[in-house]
Amino acid sequence: MPLPPLLHLPDEAAYRQHFVGTYCRGAIETHDGIRVFFRQHQFDHAFYESTNRDGIKDAFSWVRAERMNWIDATLTDPAAIRYQGWVAKTRSYDPARRVDLLYEDFVVVLALGFNRDRTLRANFITCYQADNSVAKIRTSPLWTRADCIQALR
């Protein structure tokens, strides 16, 4: 699949509106049939950066926002590589976390769980240009549905 064009909107409010309309109110499903849910408050986590590298996200990120449409494209493309996510708190990989990588160094992070009917569902955590960490991500264990389901049981 070709690289989607960058999204050019006039201001932060327009990007927020696009995120809510496209993702929070839309129905996004991964290429392998997992429904992904987006919450409005995730906009701040996904599209802000910490200018002091202290964990406090205080600056709107145009680089991240311009790649907003890459979220859907990455999640729905079967060619994306899927890795288990790293959980800093436990200092371990989690098969119920999924990091999808397809375009350049852009990653989409999901947390998976079960629906009431025991089918998989995903919650969007964040997305970012992983230019500083993509080498580490590429050494992570690959994500599999079987490992994820086993970890969630």
pLDDT of residue 18: 98
Question: Are the beta carbons of 100 and 81 closer than 8 angstroms?
Answer: yes
Whether residue 3 lies inside any domain: the answer is no
What is the DSSP-derived secondary structure letter of residue 143? P
Whether residue 18 lies inside any domain: the answer is yes
H or E element that contains 137: helix 134-137
Alpha helices in 20-120 (DSSP H): 42-47, 62-66, 70-76
Range of the domain at 26: 12-152
How many domains, the chain?
A: 1
Per-residue pLDDT band at 17 (split at 50, 70, 90): very high
Angstrom distance (rounded) from CA 83 to CA 5: 25
Whether residue 7 lies inside any domain: the answer is no
pLDDT of residue 52: 83
Whether residue 6 lies inside any domain: the answer is no
Whether residue 2 lies inside any domain: the answer is no
Taking only the tens place, the pLDDT of each residue in 96-149 is 999 999 988 999 999 999 999 999 999 999 999 998 889 999 999 999 999 999
pLDDT of residue 103: 86
Whether residue 71 lies inside any domain: the answer is yes
Whether residue 130 lies inside any domain: the answer is yes
- Mean pLDDT, rounded, for 29-40: 97
What does the CA dihedral 62, 82, 109, 139 come to, rounded to 10 degrees?
-80
Taking only the tens place, the pLDDT of each residue in 38-97 is 999 999 999 999 888 777 888 999 999 999 999 999 999 999 999 999 998 999 999 999
Q: How many CB atoms lie within 10 A of CB 23?
A: 23
Whether residue 143 lies inside any domain: the answer is yes
